[in-house]
Structures are given as C-alpha cells and as structure tokens.
Structure 1
Amino acid sequence: MNHPTTVTTTIEQLLALPQPPGPGFPLVLKVSPSSFRFNDGVLEPPSNDNERNDHSSVALAAALIRAGRVVAFPTETVYGLGADATNEAAVKRVFEAKGRPSDNPLIVHVSSLDMLSTHLLPQNTPIPSQYSNVLASHWPGPLTILLPKSDAVPPVVTAGHDSVAVRMPSHPVARALIAKANVPIAAPSANTSTRPSPTQASHVHQDLSGRILLILDGGSCEGGLESTVLDALRPPPYVVLRPGGVTVEMLRKLDGFKDTLVFKKTKENETSSEVLAPVTPGMKYKHYSPRIPVILFEVDQSVLHSTIQTRILRLHAEKSKPSSTLTPHQSSSTPAPETLTIGLLQTETQMPLDFSLTTDTLTHPRIRIIHRLLGSSRAEVGRNLFAALREMETECHVCFVEGVREVEEGLAVMNRVRKAAGEIVYDSK
C-alpha cells in the first residue's frame, strides 16, 4: 500500500479506468484528521502545505463521489464505503463492491442539517421534533436516526422503505469529504459482506483490493463499532435498532427517551417484517465474522477458566483426528500443522488466563494460545474488537472470546460478537 503525500493522479485518469479497476488499486492517500477544521459547520481553508495536500486528496475523493464512483474513508466508528446517495447507479456500485444483499439498507451521511433538509427529507418537512434533544446532544457523532425520506433518495438506498437512516459523522475527514462532494453520501462499512468491519485502511485494502479506486487513510478509527441506530418515528417508547457508540444509558437521560427499548432478534420475532425487511443495517444478516470459527463464552468469571480449559481439551481431541476440519485462514503466518493455535480475546478479565498446566502436557498436536487483552474499559474493548478478530484469523485455528457485561458500550460489543460467533457457550447452571 502506498501512502503518497501529494496527489499526482487526476480525476480524469481515474474515471478512465474500468469498473472495478482491478490489480494495483485502490490508490491510498494518507490524510491527517487535524488538517480539517470546521467553524459553525463550515470547513475552513488549509493553512499550510501539508494541509493543502490533504485537502487536495479529499477534493479528489469528493470529485470521484460526484462522478458516481465509490470511495473508502474513515469515520469515528469504522471505515465507510461511500457513494452519492442520490445517484442510484453509484449506490449499486457499493453493493457490488461489498457483495452486499440488496435488501440490506444503507446509512446516509451528511455534513450539515441544511444538506439533510435539502436532499433527504420530503419538501417542507422538518426534522421530527422528538429528535431535537438527541441531535443537540449527539450530533455530529456515532448516532443514526430514522427519518421520512424524499423521492430524491433512490429505493436502492433504503431497500424500498419510506424511511431513511441518516447520521452526521464527527470525524473531520468524513465531514470534509461530504462537504466537498456537496452531496449526502450513502456508506456502509468498507469491507466485504459478513467480514469484521474495518477500523484501519489496511483492513479495507485486504477486503476490497481491486474493487474500488481510492481509500482515504485517516488512521485508526477511534470508536471501532458502528453507530447506534435510533427509531423515534414510531410511537414511544422509542427503540434502538442497533446499539453502538451512543449508549442506551446516554439516550435514556434525555427528555422523552427515559423508556427507550433495545431491539433484539429472537426466535419469536425472527419471521417478523422487522427482521425479514429491516429498515436499517445490522438486523438480518450474519456479520463481523473472521475466516476462522469464533466461540463466545457467556459464562461467569468464576468458571471462565475451567470452561475454556474443557473446550481446549475437546478441540485438541478433534484436531488429533485425521478428519479434522480445523484449519486457519492461509497467510504468511499460518501456524504449523502440528500445532493447534487458539486465539483468546479477553474483555472483563484483565490478566492473561494461564492454561500451561494443561497445554504443556498435550502433544500431537501441541497447543499454543495467543492472548489479547482488548482493553480496561468497555469502550476500549469495542475499539479493539474488529482489529483483533482480523489478527486472529491470520494466526489461529479458532478464536475464543470472553463475553462482556451488556451495559454501556458492552451492549454493542455483545451485539457484534454474537453475530460473529458460530457457537456460544453458556453457564451450565
């Protein structure tokens, strides 16, 4: 991946390329978030050569958006794959690049309330008043709201629904891109469908190499989990359709949102229209999965060690069989066949769990455990989760994940891990 400091490729050269562009792409332009400042919602001009280079890079990306192409860019949550939300053909390119099902709607990103009103809402329709306190507290930021949509928003964006999911990102590069493009940008996460969401430009390159023209590399994403999606179009109590960076506890502190509910997919509602025809992403399909099995442990800390130890012994017995299907995703660091490598992502426990008394006695294959402590807070766990899942798939045969309490950011963490997991181990009691 190249990180040029100046823009040497012209928009004409990029638009002349076939779609998808194929080997050698995407072009990666490194930009500093500090180069972009807003004053009363207006992007300020650059003040030095480095900032001018960064603004030129974003201007190139914005020109591609206006020309109907797709661009990957950083947000405060995860990297997004963006297209002009009012251009049906451009939005279809997003679905094609990701391999995304057409009935999985997209979130539209705006840089200002004026852009929202002009492009997304029906004519003479204000933002519903019930959202006033929420937007005053959490926009710009990792919060998506459902709104009635204008006919200017093509059905492909909303999967045919009459509402559109909208947010205003706080990341300076994302806001600058939208402002320079001067159109709302429809953008899901910039990964291939079902994969862990990308929190670094390198993750985007891993998944979308040859499929898109350009990545704006603004460094690692601060939040690490996708935005909260809030539906206040329905009668109260309002519902969080997808938990994220704005926690349910934060929302419940606001006037009118004290009784806010959280949608959960269950056996009872899995055939409902809300699940089968979702109005927002993250409600229907399998998501966030690395290329190795993920096992989630939702057990009390008092039995976590013994429960994992039992599973290690079971996996060792399985790996010992000639017919074993436990194989890691092939990479330069793929573990040796005589070793069973287990990734262990710890969340609540802050000291690496020691299984040496068990693993040192096992041979053919030997056991190797790679520990990762995801953080000392639930927000930090969320920030590191997707990158850790991607790391584990290159080094391990299987990944164990310790569950986290479903409070604050922990609710969003568990929402993602449950969707990534092929198996969940519960307390036996």
Structure 2
Amino acid sequence: METKIFKPNQVEAAAALLRAGQLVSFPTETVYGLGADATNEAAVKQVYAAKGRPSDNPLIVTVTGPAMVEQYAQPLSTKAQALMKAFWPGSLTLILNLQPNALSQAVTGGLKTAAFRNPANQTTLNLIQAAGVPLVGPSANTSGKPSPTLAEHVYHDLKGKIAGIVDDGPAQVGVESTILDLTADVPTILRPGAVTEADLEPVIGQVRSNHHKVGKTEVPKAPGMKYKHYAPDAQVYIVDHETDWDAAFKWAQAQDYSIGVMALDNVLAAHQLPTNVEAYSLGQDLSSASHRLFAGLRHFDPESSVKGILTQGFADDGLGSAYMNRLNKSAGQVHFDPTQA
C-alpha cells in the first residue's frame, strides 16, 4: 500500500484512516508510535503483523487524558489521579485494572490490565481527538529494532505496510516512557524512562523497580520485558568507564572491519580515531545521549557497513537507568572487556 506522509495540520485526514481501520504512525515526545483504533480488534491485529511483533506482547493505549481512561479502566485510585495530575501529558505510562471486556485481548495480551499513556505532543492529542477513540501505540518500528525518533525511521521500517505517518519532526526525549504498574501492592516501575523513582515518590510514596525479563511461558505486563529490543544489525559493545576508551580504540584499530563508536563529544575529542572507525556523537551529557541513542543505533544499520558498535555506558541511576536499560537490551548485555585489547 502507499504510505502517505501527513503534516501536523493534516491530522483530520490521518484520523479518517484510523477510523477506517488503517494504521497511522504518530509522533510523541519520546519516540514515534504506531497507531490503530484500540477498540477495533482487526485493526489492532494489523499492528502486530506490520511490526512482526509477538502477540503476547501487550500494547500501550494512548489517550487524550484521564476522562478517556475512565471509559475503559476500573475507577481511578487516589494515586492514579495524583500521578495523572503531576505527569500527564508526559512520559509516564500507567498500568491499570480494566473494566470487564473493555478492550480486546489483542490489546492486553490476554491480561485484565492495560497500560495507558497521555503523550506530551499536541499533534497526537489532536489526532486522537479527531479519531474519537484511543489508539494503541507501540513504537513504530520493525519489532526488535531500535525505536524511531524521526518520521524517516518509521518510513524506513514500515513503508508499504501502514497507511500513513504524521511527521512532527524529531522526538524530544528519545527513550520511551516510564511504565509504572499501579496494580501491584507497591507501585512498580517495569520500564525505566525519563520519569524516575525520585520524581514519583514525592507524589505517591514508595515505588519499586522490577526490570526483569519474563520467562518464555509468562505474559509480560508491559512492552520490553520478554523479547529482544533495540538491536541494530551490528553487535553493540558497552564501554562502561571513560578509562576504558583507550583500550576500546586500540581494539577497534586491530579489527579488519569497520567499527562504529557512539560516545560523548569529550571522549571523541580526546582520542585519535582509527581509520576504520566511524564516530557518532552522543552530545555533551547523559540527557543528549538518551535523546540520540536510538538515532545513533539506526545510523549504523542502513548508512554504514560496521560490524561492531562501541557505545558509551553511564551510571545506572536516574535517567541513566532508562538509557542503560535500552543499551543493555540493544547489546544483549555484552560489555567491552578492556583486557582483550
């Protein structure tokens, strides 16, 4: 099929496709999502087919605000209301108990819960409002590949498989939303993001983190808990410490193939890059690195022939938890060993 590109002032045309059961990618402040009418089971199933996504990997439901959530979820708890007031619209996804048969199993993965998100992107809020229904919104990429932060990334992966893409420029955050399970005894972060424990606890008290990968027979409550994610074609190696970069560049130079390097500007400036190294800047700090991570991983897929990507690691706390969560999954937990140089 033809994949049409829509500008932000063309959301009515994109919404018409959604109402007709078609798939349309939409922008958020984190990454681009793949939208379908969350109340149309046939349309939702097309999302799994277009992405090549396992059918037991539940989908996030993207909404315009609490009033839309209340049409499908059980009555909102005091904590849920407080979180929505504090962080919505924004990069926080909440897992809530559903009303009986409120959404199809194609959305929930067969669970009695669903994840709801109210993105901080006015174009997408306008799109949902025009469509008149909530949208499922997994990342708009081939399943397992780095998430898209540009409309061009979506087009690369899904051209001919979806009806349209609403292009609103680059995503501002660059890593997906924090997912918080409010159905647990203690609210639990299942996927770290820009909203951290330190942000959440002043609003609702104690918060736990549980980023484990679920077993083969388990149904994950949230995306990213079971299957391989964010992986480019080349093997990613995490460089844990700035003091390891001398060894990392020495190792890269010894290879008989091209190596990609993703690092902060100060690391790149401090080293003479071997001739077989292609550098991608992660910017000045952790914030810019989080914003550029997926774009960098995607850069080394279609645009170069590198067979390994050395990527800078950070401390696993705060925003670093979100960054390292994605980077570890992209690398398959493979860390560069400086003793091998």
For 2:325, the aligned partner's letter is: N
For 1:308, the aligned partner's letter is: A
Correspondences of 1:193-204 after superposition (within 5 Å): 193-204=143-154
- The structure with the larger Rg is 1
Any conservation in 2 of the 1:350–1:376 contact (CA below 8 Å)? no
Render the CA deviation track for 1:355-411: whole Å, top value 9, x for unaligned: 45xx4xxxxxxx422222312232211111111111122222321101011222111
For 1:228, the aligned partner's letter is: T
Q: Pick the aligned partner of 2:6 from 13, 29, 35.
A: 29
1: distance between equivalents of 2:266 and 2:185? 40
Deviation of 1:313 (Å): 4.9
Any conservation in 1 of the 2:36–2:44 contact (CA below 8 Å)? yes
Q: Pick the aligned partner of 1:245 from 172, 177, 194.
A: 194
Which residue in the other structure is 1:10 paired with?
A: none
Matched, 1:374 2:282: yes
Any conservation in 2 of the 1:352–1:371 contact (CA below 8 Å)? no
Which residue in the other structure is 1:287 paired with?
A: 229
Q: Pick the aligned partner of 1:263 from 202, 206, 210.
A: 210
SS in 2 for 1:289: coil
Which residue in the other structure is 1:205 paired with?
A: 155
Deviation of 1:349 (Å): 4.7
Q: Pick the aligned partner of 1:214 from 140, 160, 164.
A: 164
Matched, 1:111 2:52: no
1: distance between equivalents of 2:33 and 2:13? 17
Matched, 1:155 2:132: no
Percent identity between matched residues is 38
Any conservation in 1 of the 2:151–2:165 contact (CA below 8 Å)? yes
State how many pairs are aligned.
335
2: distance between equivalents of 1:246 and 1:110? 18
Any conservation in 1 of the 2:66–2:84 contact (CA below 8 Å)? no
2: distance between equivalents of 1:226 and 1:233? 21
CA 1:248–1:81: 2 relative to 1, 3 Å: same
Any conservation in 2 of the 1:378–1:408 contact (CA below 8 Å)? no
1: distance between equivalents of 2:204 and 2:93? 18
Matched, 1:92 2:42: no
Question: TM-score, normalised to structure 2's length?
Answer: 0.93
Deviation of 1:129 (Å): 1.7
CA 1:421–1:353: 2 relative to 1, 3 Å: farther
Structure with the bigger RCO (C-alpha within 8 Å, sep 6+) is: 2
Correspondences of 1:9-24 after superposition (within 5 Å): 21=1
2: distance between equivalents of 1:309 and 1:388? 18
Deviation of 1:421 (Å): 0.7
Correspondences of 1:366-405 after superposition (within 5 Å): 367-393=275-301, 394-395=303-304, 396-405=306-315
1: distance between equivalents of 2:294 and 2:35? 20
1: distance between equivalents of 2:28 and 2:173? 9
SS in 1 for 2:269: coil
For 2:321, the aligned partner's letter is: L
Which residue in the other structure is 1:408 paired with?
A: 318
2: distance between equivalents of 1:378 and 1:117? 36
Any conservation in 2 of the 1:229–1:242 contact (CA below 8 Å)? yes
Q: Pick the aligned partner of 2:88 from 132, 139, 143.
A: 139
Render the CA deviation track for 1:171-191: whole Å, top value 9, x for unaligned: 011111111111010110000
Matched, 1:80 2:40: no
Matched, 1:424 2:335: yes
CA 1:277–1:348: 2 relative to 1, 3 Å: farther
For 1:419, the aligned partner's letter is: K
Correspondences of 1:287-326 after superposition (within 5 Å): 287-298=229-240, 300-302=241-243, 304-313=244-253, 316=255, 319=256
Note the residue ranges of structure 1 that are not aligned, 5 or more in a row.
1-20, 32-53, 320-339, 360-366
Note the residue ranges of structure 2 that are not aligned, 5 or more in a row.
none
Question: TM-score, normalised to structure 1's length?
Answer: 0.74
Moved over 3 A (4+): 270-273, 347-351
2: distance between equivalents of 1:398 and 1:113? 44
Any conservation in 1 of the 2:6–2:14 contact (CA below 8 Å)? no
1: distance between equivalents of 2:259 and 2:211? 30
